[in-house]
Amino acid sequence: MTVAAKISLGCIADDYTGASDLANTLTRAGLRTVQTIGVPADDLALPEVDAVVVSLKSRSIEAGLAVSRSRAADKWLRSRGAGHVLFKICSTFDSTDAGNIGPVMDALRADCGETAVLVTPAFPETGRTVYQGNLFVGAVPLNESPLKDHPLNPMHDSNLVRVLARQSKAQIGLVDLAIVTRGADAVRARLAELAGKGIGAAIIDAVFDRDLETIGLVAAQHRLSVGASGMGLGLARALVSTGKVKSTAASSEAGAAVGGPAACLAGSCSQATLQQIANAERVMPVLHLDPDRITTGEDEAQRALAWAKPRLADGPVLIASSSTPDQVAAVQARHGRDAAGHAIEQAMADIAEGLVQAGVKRLVVAGGETSGAVVDRLKIPGFLVGVEIAVGVPVLRAVGVEKGDMLLALKSGNFGGPEFFSDALGLMR
């Protein structure tokens, strides 16, 4: 990617919906931002930007591979001038004791020579708050939330100091809310105290956006941070308030109409997505895929395309593999968690490819891993950020694609309102 000028903020996201969520937050905070898929090729022409979010599909892959891909992205971002890199993780800390948040953080920290890394998944606008190192999703601790049933990364411990300590080689500390509310100098002092004791990373509490602003002022003076979009918000506001970046209103160009047929794909099995699918059934044709047929090699994708193609001219359709936690568990018991997950992601990619070949120009995808499989199959190298559909979910305009203009929305499983699919299509003309 030929970056016209030095970038101020580099970001590495561990899944594609998380990347677009962060790109949306940075854009709304006044940073000119672009989302790339992987480390971009040198010939990918992109506008002058303040921030680049490199999307990786690295959240649920083998830790060593996640580390190598993240280090390559980090090196590329810093070569383009980024003085700070945010490793963007899920606001619900989606990971297992095998990683990948800890191993990637350790490697990036070693590469940039960071002392103590600030870590927080807090994103209050979506109900993610951290208190005494414990992550809350709305009013409940993480391990009592629907994330306890995530198909790939079920979360069973809300104490992130414990969770990260199980993944990282570094000692993990805590900067609690009482210190955060005392301001940036108090956070700096606490972080220096922890670093002096050999602490390599600290979970930092945040309950309100003002806490994120405090954290951002401190983090922006470091070379690396780890967090969700809330950390991005803090960093962006710090870059603007300290004059390092001039705030720019978001361009409306990215969301300009493309026309053409529209379709929705849902691979997320989150509680929010299941409700959104149910509501979509009232306004558009919905096809439910059979996960067992997919995992046993039946060609569900062709069945789906044969169902969808004659309907596209009449309006949008929705194709979903999504099931309830009990149904997901049964499929995984029969076929294996990873095998089922991969097979279904690839079936979604097959369907997306066939839909685009059939002329679809507007595509809504629900699910981070699902979005990764779909976007990779469509060979889309990057996105410009359009208007916000829901918190954490913007309209995206594909750049660098031969198929011509396409608009996409890559919905994080847990995000979006009850009528998300209709809301998205209403903004993707």
Ligand X SMILES: O=C(O)[C@H](O)C(=O)COP(=O)(O)O
Residues at the interface with ligand ADP (CB under 6 A):
17, 150-152, 267-270, 291, 321-323, 328, 331-332, 340-341, 344-345, 367-370, 412-413
List 286's β-bridge partners, or say none: 318
Q: Name the minimum Å distance from CB 407 to ligand X.
A: 19
Strands 393-399 and 407-411: antiparallel
Residue 21 binds which entry of ligand X, ligand ADP, none, CB below 5-8 Å type-dependent: ligand X
Q: Name the minimum Å distance from CB 327 to ligand ADP.
A: 6
By beta-carbon proximity to ligand ADP, the closer residue of 6 and 293 is: 293
Q: Cβ distance 322 to 268 under 8 Å?
A: yes
By CB atoms closer than 10 A (0-12, 13-18, 19+), residue 246 is: exposed
Residue 392 binds which entry of ligand ADP, ligand X, none, CB below 5-8 Å type-dependent: ligand X
Residue 91 binds which entry of ligand ADP, ligand X, none, CB below 5-8 Å type-dependent: ligand X
Residue 74 binds which entry of ligand X, ligand ADP, none, CB below 5-8 Å type-dependent: none
Tell me the residue nearest to ligand X as measured from the CB: 368
Residue 323 binds which entry of ligand ADP, ligand X, none, CB below 5-8 Å type-dependent: ligand ADP
Q: Could you tell me which residues come within 8 angstroms of residue 389 by beta carbon, excluding any fewer than 6 positions away?
A: 395, 409, 416, 420, 423, 424, 427
By beta-carbon proximity to ligand X, the closer residue of 147 and 240 is: 147
Q: Name the minimum Å distance from CB 172 to ligand X.
A: 20
Q: Name the minimum Å distance from CB 48 to ligand X.
A: 26
Q: Cβ distance 354 to 301 under 8 Å?
A: yes
> Among candidates 126, 131, 147, 155, which has minimal Cα distance to 203?
131
Q: CA angle at residue 133 from 138 to 101, to 5 degrees?
A: 95
Q: Name the minimum Å distance from CB 18 to ligand ADP.
A: 9
User: DSSP secondary-structure letter at 127?
Assistant: T
Q: Name the minimum Å distance from CB 41 to ligand ADP.
A: 26
By beta-carbon proximity to ligand ADP, the closer residue of 8 and 25 is: 25
Residue 341 binds which entry of ligand ADP, ligand X, none, CB below 5-8 Å type-dependent: ligand ADP
By beta-carbon proximity to ligand X, the closer residue of 163 and 199 is: 163
Cα dihedral 234, 418, 265, 398 sign: negative
Q: Please give the Cα distance from 133 to 120 (Å, whole number).
A: 9
